Amino acid sequence: MSYIVNENEVEAKELPGRSLRWLYTPEMKQAIGLTFNVVVIKPGNTVKPAHSHKNNEELVYIVSGSGKAFIDGKVYDISAGSAILFSPGSIHMLRNSGDGDMKVACFFTPPATLKDYTFHDDIEFPE
């Protein structure tokens, strides 16, 4: 069975450095092998804290905007059209260093929720 969800009809959850909308979750019983959310990061903001997913791959696609990705201690430039794969256990965070909103599509497999995040409060995004 197929489903259509419009992100504008999903309530946003405000988290440090970003606004997050879950479009597909295990509770929705729509997708079997993945979850999906859309994140908007305002200019100058950093997704905090650094985090990892012990049992999940996360694939993010930068829909619009530009910034930096912190992945296991290294920083990379990212922009619209960039796809980033975070392997299970990879410590990561994103920063919007551009002038406009950075919109990010995030896919997880197997399905994940915020309960599957491991937070690393001691890690800061390098300046």
The pLDDT of residue 59 is 98
Predicted confidence band at 30 (pLDDT cuts at 50, 70, 90)?
Answer: confident
- Other CB atoms within a 10 A radius of the CB of residue 69 amount to 21
> Has residue 1 got a pLDDT over 80?
no
The strands making up 66-71's β-sheet, listed across from edge to edge, are: 74-79, 66-71, 92-96, 50-53, 117-120
Which pTM does this prediction carry? 0.92
Write out pLDDT tens, residues 33-88.
999 999 999 999 999 999 999 999 999 999 999 999 999 999 999 999 999 999 99
Rounded Cα–Cα distance for residues 22 and 38 (Å) = 7
